[in-house]
Amino acid sequence: MSEFSASYHLRTNDREAAAALLQDSGNHGFIFPVENGWVSFVVTGPPFDINDEVINWNPGILLHYIYAEDHGWELKIWSKDELVFDYQCDWTDELRIEKSRFDPYLLRELIIQQGNSADDMEAVFDLKQHYAIFGNEPPPYVLAQRLGLTHYEWISSDYVDGERYPEAIQV
């Protein structure tokens, strides 16, 4: 079975901020514990759609991560309700990369805040270079690890429930 992951990650040390975001936006979902200054969560509903109400109520830096193992991956980052980073890579039929809002300095800053190296990060966004530098580790995994995300593998509203992920609280 191929992995299909889609999750939000709010830059905060307060799990309640993510709960308030879901409640204020009129949504439900599951919220993971704070790790490395990020609160990961999923919104109940279609996992790969951007929830506009979540974006409208976003209080700070919010990241949306998608990885579809056989199809591609994408990363979007908002500062409040402004989209400040948008990268999409699709390899379903042929390789197609879109960098409509690509800010490597923003990523570098978020990575350095974790105490991680931002060296070679440009290769994550160039598949030809990526595998030569990082081996078989999927590009989105490398980026998620450098950003300090811990809840990104096999995480989506289709997978998360109170039994599989007991550390996640339901809101």
Q: What is the pTM of this model?
A: 0.93
Residue 129 pLDDT exceeds 70 = no
**Main-chain dihedrals φ then ψ at residue 104, nearest 5 degrees:** -65, -25
Cα 49 to Cα 51: distance, rounded to the nearest angstrom: 6
List the one residue out of 47, 73, 59 whose CA is nearest residue 18.
59
Cα 167 to Cα 141: distance, rounded to the nearest angstrom: 21
Residue 71 pLDDT exceeds 70 = yes
DSSP 151: S
Q: What residues does each domain of the chain span?
A: 4-102+151-170
pLDDT of residue 108: 95
Residue 152 pLDDT exceeds 90 = yes
Average pLDDT over residues 102-117: 95
List the one residue out of 156, 144, 168, 162 whose CA is nearest residue 42.
156
Q: Which residues pair with 55 in a beta bridge?
A: none
Residue 94 pLDDT exceeds 80 = yes
User: What 3-state DSSP class applies to 35?
Assistant: strand
Residue 34 pLDDT exceeds 70 = yes
**Residues of the chain above pLDDT 90, percent:** 73
Residue 95 pLDDT exceeds 70 = yes
What are the tens digits of pLDDT across the range 1-29?
788 999 999 999 999 999 999 999 999 99
Q: Which residues pair with 29 in a beta bridge?
A: 43
Residue 117 pLDDT exceeds 80 = yes
Specify whether the backbone of 148 is left (phi greater than 0), alpha (psi in -120 to 50) or beta.
Answer: left
Cα 134 to Cα 139: distance, rounded to the nearest angstrom: 8
